[in-house]
Amino acid sequence: MKPDLFEAPDYYNLDELLSEEHKLVRDAAREWVKRDVSPIIEEAAQKAEFPKSIIGGLAEIGAFGPYIPEEYGGAGLDQISYGLIMQEIERGDSGVRSTASVQSSLVMYPIWKYGNEEQRQKYLPKLASGEWIGSFGLTEPDHGSNPGGMTTNFKDMGDHYLLNGAKMWISNAPFCQIAVVWAKDENGRIHGLIVERGMEGFSTPETHNKWSLRASATGELIFDNVKVPKENLLPNKSGLGAPLGCLDSARFGIAWGAIGAAMDCYDTALRYSKERIQFGKPIGQFQLQQKKLAEMITEITKAQLLAWRLGVMRENGTATSAQISMAKRNNVDMAINIAREARQMLGGMGITGEYSIMRHSMNLESVITYEGTHDIHLLITGLDVTGLNAFK
Ligand SMILES: Cc1cc2nc3c(=O)[nH]c(=O)nc-3n(C[C@H](O)[C@H](O)[C@H](O)COP(=O)(O)OP(=O)(O)OC[C@H]3O[C@@H](n4cnc5c(N)ncnc54)[C@H](O)[C@@H]3O)c2cc1C
- Return the CATH number at 55: 1.10.540.10
For residue 105, give its domain range.
14-129
Question: Which of residues 238, 269, 293 is at a domain's end?
Answer: 238
371 is catalytic: yes
- Return the CATH number at 354: 1.20.140.10
- 215 CA → ligand 1 middle, Å: 20
Shared domain for 104 and 181, answered yes or no, is no
- 30 CA → ligand 1 middle, Å: 31
Global confidence as pTM: 0.98
Q: Radius of gyration of the chain from Cα atoms? A: 21
> So what's the pLDDT on residue 20?
98
- 170 CA → ligand 1 middle, Å: 11
Shared domain for 273 and 352, answered yes or no, is yes
Tell me, yes or no, whether 169 lies in a domain: yes
Tell me, yes or no, whether 4 lies in a domain: no
**DSSP labels, 122-171:** HHHHHHHTTSS-EEEE--BTTBSS-GGG---EEEE-SSEEEEEEEEEEEE
Shared domain for 191 and 294, answered yes or no, is no
Question: Closest Cα to atom 41, ligand 1: which residue?
Answer: 391
User: Per-residue pLDDT for 1 more than 90?
Assistant: no
Neighbour tally for 354: CB within 10 Å: 13
Shared domain for 89 and 199, answered yes or no, is no
Shared domain for 224 and 247, answered yes or no, is no
Structural domain count of the chain: 3
Question: Which of residues 106, 129, 152 is at a domain's end?
Answer: 129
User: Per-residue pLDDT for 289 more than 90?
Assistant: yes
> What pLDDT, in 10s, does the model give residues 188-221?
999 999 999 999 999 999 999 999 999 999 999 9
**DSSP labels, 61-106:** TT-SSTTS-GGGTS----HHHHHHHHHHHHHH-HHHHHHHHIIIII
**Burial grade of 82 (CB within 10 A; 0-12, 13-18, 19 or more):** buried
Residue 137: phi and psi, rounded to 5, are: -105, 100
Q: What is the mean pLDDT of residues 152-179?
A: 98
Is residue 191 classed as helix, strand or coil in its secondary structure?
strand
Contact 74, 68 (CB under 8 A): yes
Tell me, yes or no, whether 146 lies in a domain: yes
With the most atoms of ligand 1 within 8 angstroms of its CB, the residue from 133, 139, 167, 178 to mutate is 139
Tell me, yes or no, whether 1 lies in a domain: no
Question: Closest Cα to atom 20, ligand 1: which residue?
Answer: 370
Tell me, yes or no, whether 3 lies in a domain: no
> What pLDDT, in 10s, does the model give residues 11-44?
999 999 999 999 999 999 999 999 999 999 999 9
Q: Is 373 in the pocket of ligand 1 (CB under 6 A)?
A: yes
Which sign does the torsion angle of CA 191, 95, 168, 201 carry?
A: negative
Tell me, yes or no, whether 180 lies in a domain: yes
Catalytic position from the list 90, 220, 299, 371: 371
Question: Which of residues 210, 238, 266 is at a domain's end?
Answer: 238
What H or E segment, with its residue span, contains residue 203? Answer: strand 202-203
Beta bridge partners of 136: 180
Q: How confident is the model at residue 118 (pLDDT cuts 50, 70, 90)?
A: very high
Task: List for the chain the helix, strand, coil content (%; round to 5).
Answer: 55, 15, 30
Contact 130, 56 (CB under 8 A): yes
> So what's the pLDDT on residue 2?
84
- 41 CA → ligand 1 middle, Å: 26
Shared domain for 382 and 256, answered yes or no, is yes
Shared domain for 263 and 339, answered yes or no, is yes
> What pLDDT, in 10s, does the model give residues 55-106?
999 999 999 999 999 999 999 999 999 999 999 999 999 999 999 999 999 9
